[in-house]
């Protein structure tokens, strides 16, 4: 089997979610190229439309245009997040800073996922919540928020981002600290790229009280988790050279690349620069004779989506 050529993978899902939400919070028109057109990101776009933003259709090879109004409007019906946990948790953070009541729900699977780790710190900031259980549907009653300093019980990009987004929407200081094993930092990078003061001191991620979100333009990098499957195919091929163009190579997402390098993979990353704080590059992969390695627990947050693929490569 020969695996070769130049391929562009779909846009990064985590970055797409965050870009859509921040564009909806901006006052003015933002343009997002390369956005992922998955069911999850479409759920985010639909939710933002219910909250008063104008979001063009998410289509492959097209630029998404978002017309934000600076703040959300009270939705006329519950916001349905389908199966997207990122949509539900990050929107909860943003809605906590709006002085109206809104309800978030989702499909049967999403309604079983816990929300207390998000609602507890947001309650400490001044928002209030009502739910029949620890999950969805969740009624959110937003308010003028207070600053927050919170140690997270687990390393979670969704939880961390929900609290940082609450700080952005509420224009208050937020400091969060994760336990060992840092989660994805797309939110911190994007906020810095938009001019927000986000610092890291002694393990704390500190967002200073800011102003309004500016309108922006962004080209979403290719998704490293999607690229991983093609990387795996190229590594076990009989020949060829595969180039994956314009992939996001954020260090908090490339744990898999470190693991396969230890396994003897022939893979070269050629940096191309940054996109709103996100490093982007081309990945060049050739067939390789792989050897065994051990993955440490602290590495898992940086490769959580690629564990199944690593198991296949190991076998």
* Catalytically active residues, by annotation: 305
DSSP label of 71: S
Q: Which residues of 182-192 are buried (b: 16+ CB within 10 A; e: fewer)?
A: bbbbbbbbbbb
CA distance 234 to 58: 30
CA distance 248 to 86: 19
Q: Are strands 148-151 and 174-177 parallel, antiparallel or unpaired?
A: parallel
Q: Which residue has the tokens 């992969």?
A: 285
CA distance 78 to 90: 16
* Helix 13-25 and helix 85-95, axial crossing angle in degrees, nearest 10: 30
DSSP label of 165: H
Q: For residues 271 and 249, is the Cβ–Cβ distance under 8 A?
A: yes
Residue among 168, 299, 215 at smallest CA distance from 27:
215
DSSP label of 209: P
Q: Where are the beta strands (DSSP E) in the chain?
A: 5-7, 27-33, 54-55, 64-69, 79-80, 101-105, 128-130, 138-141, 148-151, 174-177, 198-201, 204-207, 217-219, 242-248, 266-275, 278-286
């Amino acid at each position: 089997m020969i695996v070769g050529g130049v391929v562009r993978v779909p846009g990064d899902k985590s970055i797409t979610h965050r870009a859509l939400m921040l564009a909806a919070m901006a006052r003015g028109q933002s343009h997002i190229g390369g956005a992922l057109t998955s069911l999850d990101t479409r759920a985010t776009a639909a939710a933002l439309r219910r909250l008063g933003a104008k979001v063009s259709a998410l289509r492959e090879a097209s630029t998404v245009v978002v017309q934000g109004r600076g703040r959300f409007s009270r939705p006329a019906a519950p916001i349905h997040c389908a199966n997207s946990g990122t949509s539900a948790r990050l929107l909860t953070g943003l809605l906590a800073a709006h002085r109206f009541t809104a309800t978030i729900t989702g499909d049967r699977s999403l309604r079983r996922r816990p929300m207390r780790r998000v609602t507890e710190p947001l309650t400490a900031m001044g928002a209030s919540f009502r739910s029949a259980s620890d999950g969805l549907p969740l009624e959110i009653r937003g308010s003028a928020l207070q600053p927050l300093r919170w140690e997270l019980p687990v390393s979670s990009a969704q939880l961390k981002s929900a609290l940082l987004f609450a700080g952005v929407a509420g224009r208050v200081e937020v400091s969060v600290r994760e336990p060992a094993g840092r989660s994805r930092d797309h939110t911190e990078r994007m906020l810095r790229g938009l001019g927000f003061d986000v610092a890291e001191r002694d393990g704390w991620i500190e967002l200073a009280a800011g102003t309004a979100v500016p309108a922006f333009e962004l080209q979403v990098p290719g998704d490293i988790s999607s690229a991983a499957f093609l990387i795996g195919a190229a590594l076990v091929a009989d020949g060829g050279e595969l180039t994956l163009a314009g992939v996001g190579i954020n260090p908090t997402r490339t744990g898999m690349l470190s693991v396969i390098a230890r396994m003897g993979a022939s893979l070269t990353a050629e940096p191309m620069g940054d996109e709103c704080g996100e490093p982007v590059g081309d990945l060049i992969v050739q067939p390789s004779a792989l050897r065994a390695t051990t993955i440490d627990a602290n590495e898992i947050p940086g490769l959580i989506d690629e564990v199944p693929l690593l198991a296949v490569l190991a076998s």
